[in-house]
Amino acid sequence: MKVIIAGGGTGGHLFPGIAVAKEILRRSPGSPILFVGAEQGIEARLIPKEGFQLRTLPLGGIKGLGPVRQIGNLMGMVTGVLKAGNILHEFKPDAVIGVGGYASFPMLSAAVIGGYPRVIMEQNAIPGLANRVLGRWVDFAAVTDARTERYFKNRAVVTGNPVRPEFKSIPAKTHTPPFTILIFGGSQGAQSINRAVIAALQNLSAFKSELRFIHQTGERQMDEVRRAYTEAGFDADVRTFFNNFHEQYAAADLIISRSGATTVAEIKAAGRAAILVPFPFAADDHQMKNALAMAEEKAAVVISNSDLNGRKLADTVVDFVRHPERLKEMETNARRIAILDAEARIVDLVEKAIERHV
């Protein structure tokens, strides 16, 4: 199977695409797979490390920009479709998979024009603009949430959100001091979570011997966060980004994070307890929906971004330290609701799409 996987920009789009690529290689070793992403996206850093080919398009966003930049980026999108057509002509894939993100739209548009088999992946309950526009011209839309089916009608198939295989083999954790708290806000970090953690340290001073931290901060606040842990006297591994993130999940007794669809899927697959702080400006408030769905299954605790502060975060962490049986309960519930074969279901759809065009 010769496939182009298009999109990225954030880990939430890119990592499911990597999981699908690995499933293709599991079924058919040596299959040529080409990722197509944006020049400024996270894919430029991660895809070569995963051992896949990467081509990039000079693309930018549309939302939240001034009119001059919007027009410039729209023109860039048109140019991107033409360049995507050239990539299709050169690579000649059996199918194109769109994972969301800037590069997904021009690549899928070119695939529609060229008549190539095409599948899109939609992680959120309410699809992004690009997938809503392209959805009527794809063979299948692989969706995470049954509520999303109405946007794609008979092309929608509920598959779950793919998770890299390393997350599925993480063993259960025995919860004894020191408890490891893994903190992250996505590939770029989250300033409000970083600040709340810094503020929480003074309220956790009595638990220094019982806690250690692993903290992915993003670029902007790494020095500030690292200094805060040092001054407070806590054992902490603080970095801008962790490459082998499944290893950090394996070490964690408790996760503090945003609640993007891919993060939630990884937490479920890994079977870890979590304090979720939804990003308040996510489109259609989908992160809050993701978090509340976890809370309803007693698989996570939710703190809204507006309620997040050092005292509340510290109190929630201490409650888990004092009642480690709650960690076990959440881990069990998280694993119970995990869909562990999402990438296999999606590759099945890709195969069906190819058959339709033969």
Please tell me the distance from the alpha carbon of residue 260 to that of residue 186, in angstroms, as a whole number.
8
Domain count, the chain: 2
pLDDT of residue 286: 84
Paired strand residues for 172: none
Question: What pLDDT, on a 0 to 100 scale, did the predictor assign at position 186?
Answer: 66
Range of the domain at 31: 3-163+340-357
pLDDT at 59: 60
Residues 272 and 351 in one domain: no
Residue 177 and residue 131 share a domain:
no
The HSE-up count of residue 231 (CA atoms within 13 Å, CB side) is: 10
Do 173 and 117 fall within a single domain?
A: no
Q: Which residue has the tokens 């083999």?
A: 169
Q: Are residues 156 and 273 in the same domain?
A: no
Q: Which of 164, 178, 162, 171 is nearest to 271 (CA)?
A: 171
The answer to whether residues 7 and 13 touch, using CB atoms and an 8 Å cutoff, is: yes
Which pLDDT score is estimated for 190? Answer: 85
C-alpha 134/C-alpha 237 separation (Å) is 42
Residue 187: the pLDDT is: 58
129 and 108 in a common domain: yes
What letter represents residue 193's amino acid? I
pLDDT of residue 103: 86
Residue of 131, 160, 210 whose CA lies nearest to 345: 160
Residues 79 and 121 in one domain: yes
Shared domain check, 142 and 24: yes
pLDDT on residue 285: 84
Same domain? 104 vs 243: no
Residue 74 pLDDT: 56
**Which CATH number does the domain housing residue 228 bear?**
3.40.50.2000
Q: Do 260 and 352 have their domain in common?
A: no
127 and 194 both lie in a single domain: no
- Is 226 found in the same domain as 105? no
Q: Which two tokens stand for residue 166?
A: 């390393």
pLDDT for 259: 95
Residue 68 CA to residue 66 CA, distance in Å, equals 6
Three-point CA angle 102, 130, 281, nearest 5°: 80
Long-range contacts, 276-279 (Cβ 8 Å, 24+): 276/300, 276/301, 276/302, 276/303, 277/190, 277/192, 277/193, 277/196, 277/302, 277/303, 277/304, 277/305, 277/308, 278/302, 278/304, 278/305, 279/186, 279/190, 279/305
d(CA 121, CA 97): 7
- Write down the pTM of the prediction: 0.86
Give the residues of the chain that fall short of pLDDT 50: none
Tell whether 42 and 80 lie within a shared domain.
yes
Give pLDDT, residue 358: 81
